[in-house]
Amino acid sequence: MLKDVNYRSDRTFALDMDQNDHLKSFRDLFFIPKNNNGSDSIYFCGNSLGLQPKNCKTEIDQVLNAWSKRGVESWFESDASWINSHSTLKESMKKLVGCMNSEIAIANSLSVNLHLLLLSFYRPNQTRYKIIIEANAFPSDQYIVKSQAHFHQYDVNDTIITISPKKGKINIEYDDIATCLQNHGHQTSIILLGGVNYVNGQVLNLKKITQLGHQYGCMVGFDLAHAVGNIPLNLHDDEVDFAAWCNYKYLNAGPGSVGAFYIHHKHHSSNLPRLEGWWGNSLDSRFLMKDKFDPSYGAEAWVMSTPSQLNYAALRASLEIFDMTTIEDLRQKSILLTGYLEYLIENLSNTDIELITPKDRNQRGCQLSLKIKNGKEVFEGLINSGVICDWREPDIIRISPAPLYNTFEEVYNLVLILSDLVSK
């Protein structure tokens, strides 16, 4: 149970919190980017690209060494046995997303996986053809659903329904989704939302949304790019139909790393159509080279191509670190870190900073999104001061303290710099 903390604005408080942090040693497992003077940068951009685990090179070198010494035989005879390397990754991953082993697969990239999943789950007809997304969904998600509508020869303007916050509100509320379904649910085939919104960091209630969507006969899926490794998930128990995510943000698997996806087990034996490839064939018969597809059980049947063992190695490096703790423990620290950042910002005087991330800690993850007067200048000032965060047009700075490697003192130092910049 998370205990409430009485935050203070002095550096001693931050140092005491770091000293008593039982997760503090995890920072030493990552490379911290350096400033020009050789000091550690303040890296608050794990929502865009997580830091490199120090064991990453070792994991990749093991693959390279096996390849150099045994070549193709490494698929079956190397110490790691490449042919089964996905198994250990799935054991670690399923604890982060809350599902059965058979419900996840690690392959492809996020956008590719969303397209493949929609080819199976988006089955439009004359009465059900609409797709519901949030108005400020990540651009790729918008491109995906629009191109799926085009692919099925539907009018995009009629097919794609977007959910926006009420007038005067910043974040989507459950009632907004309920109202949208009251108006369009009977014509809706798919609901596809971001589990954590990339702009404002809002966490949606996946269980309630899934239950509501199912009441209207809709398939419900989520883009979890900003959720996995950030917040605890229970995809199986929440009965989410499908989901996909990348692994290079909070999961620290490297730029453009291999993605992953989830399909609820109730769909494993269904008649859903899918695109099929050799690697989705059952391992028992894969190398018999038959012309008839013999599907693997579960989500693995949706995998198509031979996976990159180098990408797997980078992901394994990070998951080994996650296996040393629990997503629940990380979440507890994350709530404290983000709460401290919010407290310090709100206690700045004479500033025009607007927090557009929900104040309720159950409705946000690591990220706080700020609107600031002259925001681009402030952002550039942060970068020049050794703070790595990110900018989203037209006026948003995103700051994400990641519990695996960020500290309370870093939060304190960031706000000192921010205070100086906004008071100029």
355 & 407 share domain: yes
Render pLDDT for 328-351 as a digit per residue (tens, 0 to 9): 999 999 999 999 999 999 999 767
CA dihedral 399, 402, 408, 413 (to 10 degrees): -40
Range of the domain at 358: 11-30+326-422
75 & 111 share domain: yes
> Is 297 within the bounds of a domain?
yes
Which amino acid is present at 17? Answer: M
Domain boundary among 284, 300, 322: 322
180 & 290 share domain: yes
Domain count, the chain: 2
User: CA-to-CA distance for 137 and 162, rounded, in angstroms?
Assistant: 9
Q: For residue 342, what are the contacts with CB-CB under 8 A and spacing of at least 6?
A: 355, 359, 368
CATH of the domain at 413: 3.90.1150.10
192 & 117 share domain: yes
Domain boundary among 260, 292, 322: 322
CATH of the domain at 310: 3.40.640.10
Confidence check: pLDDT of 424 > 80 = no
336 & 317 share domain: no
245 & 187 share domain: yes
334 & 253 share domain: no
Domain boundary among 299, 322, 345: 322
288 & 312 share domain: yes
Render pLDDT for 96-155 as a digit per residue (tens, 0 to 9): 999 999 999 999 999 999 999 999 999 999 999 999 999 999 999 999 999 999 999 999
**Residue 68 Cα distances to 58, 59, 61, 64, 78, angstroms:** 15, 15, 10, 6, 11
355 & 295 share domain: no
Contact 367, 358 (CB under 8 A): no
Average pLDDT of span 192-208? 97
287 & 368 share domain: no
> Is 53 within the bounds of a domain?
no
Confidence check: pLDDT of 161 > 80 = yes
Q: Nearest CA to 354 among 170, 164, 174, 201?
A: 170
> Is 47 within the bounds of a domain?
no
Predicted local distance difference test score (pLDDT) of residue 2: 60
User: CA-to-CA distance for 359 and 365, rounded, in angstroms?
Assistant: 11
